[in-house]
């Protein structure tokens, strides 16, 4: 029994020592590509048939992801307001609806934009892992693939428009005040 355990430990040691590789990764990691799909609808009224056409348009343009649909609405202000109301009833967020070039009369133009992340095609994760140089690439690729599938607005992967950059001086003010307060308290 102990001979079997010793031979198993020796076999595992030899096998594990063969797993370490100092070879650099030569293939660059595949990027996540961001694509934009735009569809346009023009409405002259919002009677029952046009309302139905608007709802079908929004459902088709969103591909089932209403949270990822961005609407740019321009034209007649009254008709635009009705289109916004219909879109909000369908569950499209107010932050994704933008009114542009409002006029007093005429038609309304709806531009539906959906941004799509195109994740990289990952190599297969199956096969022997001994001396496999693509292990790290496969793991990193699957993480990027899952991130691209989960994000609501893929433009967030390129930059963050919500947070403005700063130089850090304003963030340092509370620290400086705290240090001054601590010195005054000791003195």
Name the band, by pLDDT with cuts 50, 70 and 90, for residue 39: very high
Q: Which residue has the higher pLDDT, 30 or 16?
A: 30
Q: What is the mean pLDDT of residues 112-126?
A: 78
In a domain, 55, yes or no: yes
Tell me the per-residue pLDDT of 46-64, one tens digit each, with 9 for 90 and over.
Answer: 899 999 999 999 999 988 8
Check pLDDT > 90 for residue 5.
no
The answer as to whether 102 is a domain residue is: yes
pLDDT for the residue 71: 94
Confirm whether 21 is domain-assigned. Answer: no
Asked if residue 141 belongs to a domain, the reply is: no
**CATH, residue 85:** 3.30.1330.60
Range of the domain at 70: 33-118
Question: What pLDDT score was predicted for residue 131?
Answer: 53
Residue 187 domain flag: no
> How many structural domains does the chain have?
1
Q: Mean pLDDT across the chain, nearest whole number?
A: 76
Q: Is residue 176 part of a domain?
A: no
Scanning the chain, the segments in alpha helix (DSSP H) are 2-17, 48-62, 77-89, 135-150, 169-186
Cβ neighbours around 110 below 10 Å, total: 24
CA distances from 143 to 119, 146, 154 (A): 10, 5, 15
Could you tell me if 113 and 96 are in contact, meaning their C-beta atoms sit under 8 angstroms apart? no
pLDDT at residue 7, rounded to an integer: 42
pLDDT of 2 above 70: no
Contact 126, 99 (CB under 8 A): no
Whether 19 is in a domain gets the answer no
Contact call for residues 83 and 54 (beta carbons, < 8 A): yes
- Could you give the count of Cα atoms lying within 13 Å of 18 in the half-sphere of its Cβ? 11
């Amino acid at each position: 029994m102990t001979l079997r355990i010793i031979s198993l430990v020796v076999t595992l040691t030899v096998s594990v020592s063969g797993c370490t590789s100092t070879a650099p990764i030569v293939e660059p990691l595949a990027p996540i590509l961001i694509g934009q799909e735009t569809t346009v609808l023009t409405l002259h009224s919002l009677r029952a048939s046009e309302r139905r056409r608007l709802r079908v348009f929004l459902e088709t343009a969103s591909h089932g992801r209403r949270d990822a649909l961005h609407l740019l609405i321009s034209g007649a202000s009254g008709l635009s307001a009705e289109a916004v109301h219909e879109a909000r009833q369908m569950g499209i967020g107010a932050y994704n609806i933008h009114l542009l070039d409002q006029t007093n009369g005429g038609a309304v133009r709806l531009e539906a934009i959906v941004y799509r992340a195109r994740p990289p095609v990952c190599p297969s994760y199956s096969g022997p892992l001994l001396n496999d140089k693509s292990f790290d690439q496969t793991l990193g690729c699957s993480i990027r693939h899952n991130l691209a599938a989960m994000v609501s607005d893929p433009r967030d992967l390129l930059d963050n428009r919500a947070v403005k950059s700063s130089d850090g001086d304003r963030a340092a003010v509370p620290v400086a005040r705290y240090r001054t307060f601590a010195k005054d308290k000791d003195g």
